[in-house]
């Protein structure tokens, strides 16, 4: 694994794979990023969630060093992503949302082409390792145009793994794939995490967000919150409905229900008068959508 520089930026620790500090970027009158700040720990699966146009692509470009911010700093694997962009790119893998592969070439030929710039030493073994990891070694010589969309996604993932990266950046990696293949992808991601690879991915699917160690919600170029999926969900409001004797109904909306529900029920002495308690907890998707709509980390 990498050893960060001794010259750490604010918010950066020896365990940081990515540190983004006060990042601003505008395209004309359109602000893509407005002071974005976050830190990604080495070895975690980190999710970036937000609507189209929220700033996710701009953030990825800044991490990869292909975009110069108007203000702020980005450090990746202990390096400045702009000044040291060539060194950074040698240590990360990137999988775009749409596979950028040649349809007339086979997976092995695609990987050989893209890997030719890395140096010949060990390339054939790296190609085999990558294709075996995603389950495509048996189809290594078939033209890509004969593959399903999901298999093309697997070939794209293999390409991003060719350098044996320390940091893997995935832009909506399972968009449009079936549930079985999605589960297989996440097995791959967990396997990579076990090998110490840091994974930074964008997604709009909440079933993927809950699999991440931590999630950042971004809207309008502004970071709304960075927390674990459970902590984000706990920010939602829980609706409580009490049905009392005589048909009396009492309803309330509370925050952290594990703490607030007992207090709510003290008025009733937790007695037999309370016949039934119905609780509706918001899903992670409910809470994130509320944050995005209100541009407020507290929903």
At residue 150, the pLDDT reads: 84
Instruction: Tell me the two tokens of residue 62.
Output: 């800044």
Instruction: Give the global pTM.
Output: 0.79
Please give the span between the terminal C-alpha atoms of the chain, in angstroms, as a whole number: 38
Distance CA 128, CA 132 (A): 6
* Rounded average pLDDT over 51-61: 90
Residue 275 lies in a domain: yes
Helix H or strand E encompassing 28: none
Residues 207 and 270 in one domain: no
Q: Which domain holds residue 109?
A: 42-65+78-231
Classified as helix, coil or strand, 227 is: strand
Residues 102 and 242 in one domain: no
* Rounded average pLDDT over 276-285: 74
Maximal CA-CA distance, the chain? 81
pLDDT tens digits, one per residue of 229-262: 988 888 888 888 888 888 889 888 887 776 777 7
* Rounded average pLDDT over 74-100: 90
- Band (pLDDT 50/70/90 cuts) for residue 5 is very low
Angle in degrees, 0-180, between the axes of helices 107-115 and 123-133, rounded to the nearest 10:
130
Distance CA 161, CA 184 (A): 16
- Band (pLDDT 50/70/90 cuts) for residue 8 is very low
Residue 30 lies in a domain: no
Residues 249 and 195 in one domain: no
Mean pLDDT of all residues belonging to the chain: 85
Distance CA 166, CA 144 (A): 27
- Band (pLDDT 50/70/90 cuts) for residue 119 is low
Residue 286 lies in a domain: no
Instruction: Centre a 10 Å sphere on the Cβ of residue 100 and count the other Cβ atoms it contains.
Output: 12
Residues 94 and 222 in one domain: yes
At residue 83, the pLDDT reads: 92
Give residue 141's Cα distance to chain centre: 32
Residues 150 and 258 in one domain: no
Residue 183 lies in a domain: yes
Share of the chain above pLDDT 90, in %: 45
Residues 248 and 136 in one domain: no
Distance CA 180, CA 113 (A): 30
Residue 288 lies in a domain: no
CA distances from 101 to 24, 118, 158 (A): 32, 17, 11
Across 61-75, 192-206, 273-287, least confident range? 273-287
Residues 128 and 169 in one domain: yes
> In degrees rounded to 5, what are phi and psi of residue 12?
-95, 140
């Amino acid at each position: 694994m990498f050893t960060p520089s001794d010259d750490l930026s604010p918010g950066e620790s020896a365990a940081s794979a990515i540190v983004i500090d006060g990042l601003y970027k505008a395209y004309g009158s359109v602000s893509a990023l407005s002071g974005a700040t976050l830190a990604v720990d080495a070895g975690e699966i980190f999710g970036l969630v937000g609507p189209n146009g929220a700033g996710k692509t701009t953030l990825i470009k800044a991490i990869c060093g292909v975009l110069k911010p108007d203000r702020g700093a980005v450090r990746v694997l202990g390096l400045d992503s702009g000044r040291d962009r060539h060194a950074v790119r040698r240590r990360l893998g990137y999988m775009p949302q749409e596979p950028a592969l040649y349809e007339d070439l086979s997976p092995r030929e695609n990987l050989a082409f893209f890997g030719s710039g890395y140096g010949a030493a060990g390339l054939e073994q790296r190609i085999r390792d990558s294709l075996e990891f995603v389950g495509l070694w048996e189809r290594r010589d078939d033209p890509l145009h004969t593959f399903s969309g999901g298999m093309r996604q697997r070939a794209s993932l293999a390409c991003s793994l060719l350098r044996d990266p320390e940091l893997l950046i995935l832009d909506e990696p399972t968009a449009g794939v079936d549930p079985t293949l999605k589960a297989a992808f996440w097995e791959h991601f967990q396997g990579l995490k076990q090998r110490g690879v840091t994974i930074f991915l964008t997604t709009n699917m909440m079933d993927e967000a809950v699999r991440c160690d931590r999630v950042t919600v971004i809207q309008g170029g502004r970071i709304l919150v960075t927390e674990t999926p459970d902590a984000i969900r706990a920010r939602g409001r829980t609706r409580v409905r009490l049905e009392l004797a005589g048909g009396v109904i009492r309803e309330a909306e509370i925050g952290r229900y594990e703490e607030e529900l007992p207090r709510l029920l003290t008025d009733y002495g937790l007695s037999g008068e309370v016949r039934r308690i119905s609780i509706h907890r918001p899903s992670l998707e409910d809470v994130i959508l509320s944050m995005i709509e209100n541009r407020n980390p507290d929903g």
